[in-house]
Amino acid sequence: MRVIIAGGGIGGLTTALSLHAAGIEAEVFESVAEIRPLGVGINILPHAVRELTELGLADALAATGIATRELRYISAHGQEIWREPRGLAAGYHWPQYSIHRGRLHMLLLAEVRARLGAGRVHLGKRMISTSQDAHGATAHFADGSSATADALVAADGIHSAARAQRHPDEGPPRWKGAVLWRATSVAEGFLGGATMIQCGHHDLKFVCYPIANNPDGTQLINWIAEKVFPEDTAWNREDWNRTADLEAFVPLYEAWRWDFLDVPALMRRAEAVFEYPMVDRDPLEAWSIGRITLLGDAAHPMYPIGSNGSSQAILDARVLAMHLKRAPSVEAGLAAYDAARRPATAALTIANRGLGPDLVLEEVHRRAPHGFARLHDVISDAELRETAQNYKQLAGFDPALLNQRESYAA
Ligand SMILES: Cc1cc2nc3c(=O)[nH]c(=O)nc-3n(C[C@H](O)[C@H](O)[C@H](O)COP(=O)(O)OP(=O)(O)OC[C@H]3O[C@@H](n4cnc5c(N)ncnc54)[C@H](O)[C@@H]3O)c2cc1C
């Protein structure tokens, strides 16, 4: 069996590695002419680290990212609301990694080239449409060329050409008013050097975590400032590479200077700031049609809440390879992948619209907008626990469930 993958992002490259591990031939067609280490920090949750570990990438991940030990929720007044251990510290058999997206991307690319052969990654190949018949699936590229194989996986991101061809009336992604400013700053570590913090409330948020240790003892710290605008505000089309001006938002955080972190000072050390509207799309009725399917952001773009964008693409890749290997036909394999992954990611997309695990920040802000003397006068421990637990179950990273479930190895 041979599979064409359109899109060499996190999802596409992980699919190539997963198919190769399953003994299935794979070839990647990526639109950009040169793959560069773009983006800022992302989190790879234990359920996805498990998959990358089974692909033999544990050491490379450990050498590239930071194994996150703790997550804390903090109010806009710097008051702690909730803390929980993460990764190995939370009892998972696999760590959680906070990592630079670009470095992860380059790591995956190097592995694909080493394992499948450098000639299996084709650059400058922008897929513009797909077609299929009883014998194969074809990707048609902007340069006039095409490629045919037994199956075609469209992992071509949030502006997927394959998805647009199937759903010409879908239009642009859905924007509900939130804008994210994302950046990295080099600074001294905070709260022990392996903690992720989520601060503020629905209208103004700040998320921050270290993604690499520097030789001089400083850390590369990823941060995201998020502000909600009225829904009718005009905003720029989503583009992962659009830069922004610090002064557009740092003044909003001037009072966020706490003993463990000076937020505006960290922001002003940014290397470059990227602006991105928080968008998603409605879940689809089908991903797999015959020999062609969708994967990653092409299939289920979701709000980047709860650290699930890349993690879910990695799960897709592994489940796809497993079903293609086990099923009696290409069509049956893609249908089984669709049945396994589509409902799960649809539920997550919807949960993220409802704030996901960040719900506790909003509740505390609503009940005590000027801060609190004692947290438990405002919110009970049971409520805090329940919110955290519900989201983990939904996203498939409840520790007990994850540790016990069968491997997705083909
Ligand atoms: C440049 C860039 C920077 C990003 N930075 C961040 C970040 O900082 N934080 C974050 O949370 N997420 C970021 N993301 C998104 C994140 O990588 C995805 O949400 C997640 O990893 C799911 O991966 P994916 O492979 O489905 O999509 P992506 O990682 O977006 O990969 C899609 C790939 O398909 C390629 N492609 C697009 N159209 C076509 C086409 N027509 N034909 C062939 N190839 C095509 C793209 O060039 C890209 O390499 C970024 C994505 C990109 C492309």
Please report, in tens digits, the pLDDT of each residue of the chain (410 residues total): 999 999 999 999 999 999 999 999 999 999 999 999 998 999 999 999 999 999 999 999 999 999 999 999 999 999 999 999 999 999 999 999 999 999 999 999 999 999 999 999 999 999 999 999 999 999 999 999 999 999 999 999 999 999 999 999 999 899 888 899 999 999 999 999 999 999 999 899 999 999 999 999 999 999 999 999 887 777 766 777 788 889 989 999 999 999 999 999 999 999 889 998 889 999 999 999 999 999 999 999 998 876 788 999 999 999 999 999 999 999 999 999 999 999 999 998 988 887 667 788 989 999 999 999 999 999 999 988 888 888 777 766 788 888 988 889 98
Which atom number of ligand 1 is nearest to the Cα of residue 159?
38
Q: Give 38 Cα–ligand 1 centroid separation in angstroms.
A: 9
Does the predicted model carry a pTM greater than 0.85? Answer: yes
- 10 Å Cβ neighbour count for 243? 11
Read off the tokens for 119.
Answer: 């000639």
Q: Which residues contact 123 (CB under 8 A, 6 or more apart)?
A: 8, 30, 32, 33, 34, 35
Q: Whose CA is nearest to atom 30 of ligand 1?
A: 157
pLDDT attached to residue 240: 75
Read off the tokens for 194.
Answer: 């392996």
Pocket residues for ligand 1 (CB within 6 Å)? 6-12, 29-32, 38-40, 42, 101, 126-127, 155-157, 161, 182, 240-241, 296-298, 304, 309-310, 313
Mutate to test the pocket of ligand 1, among 310, 314, 320 (most ligand atoms within 8 A of CB): 310
Q: Give 220 Cα–ligand 1 centroid separation in angstroms.
A: 22
| Nearest residue to 31 (alpha-carbon basis) of 149, 148, 159 | 159
Q: Give 294 Cα–ligand 1 centroid separation in angstroms.
A: 14
Q: How far apart are CA 389 and CA 236, in angstroms?
A: 35
Strand 219-228 with 204-213, pairing: antiparallel
pLDDT attached to residue 358: 78
Q: Give 157 Cα–ligand 1 centroid separation in angstroms.
A: 5
pLDDT attached to residue 355: 66
- Where do we find the tokens 């583009």? 239
> Please, what is the angle between helix 46-54 and helix 309-326, to 10°?
40
| Nearest residue to 292 (alpha-carbon basis) of 165, 109, 126, 141 | 165
Sheet of strand 292-294, all strands in order from the earlier edge strand to the far edge: 121-122, 25-29, 2-6, 151-154, 292-294
Q: Give 328 Cα–ligand 1 centroid separation in angstroms.
A: 31
Q: Give 394 Cα–ligand 1 centroid separation in angstroms.
A: 24
Q: Which residues contact 376 (CB under 8 A, 6 or more apart)?
A: none
Q: How far apart are CA 381 and CA 312, in angstroms?
A: 29
Mutate to test the pocket of ligand 1, among 17, 30, 181 (most ligand atoms within 8 A of CB): 30
Q: Give 240 Cα–ligand 1 centroid separation in angstroms.
A: 8
Given a contact cutoff of 8 angstroms between Cβ atoms, the answer to whether 32 and 92 are in contact is no
Q: Whose CA is nearest to atom 48 of ligand 1?
A: 9
Given a contact cutoff of 8 angstroms between Cβ atoms, the answer to whether 256 and 206 are in contact is yes
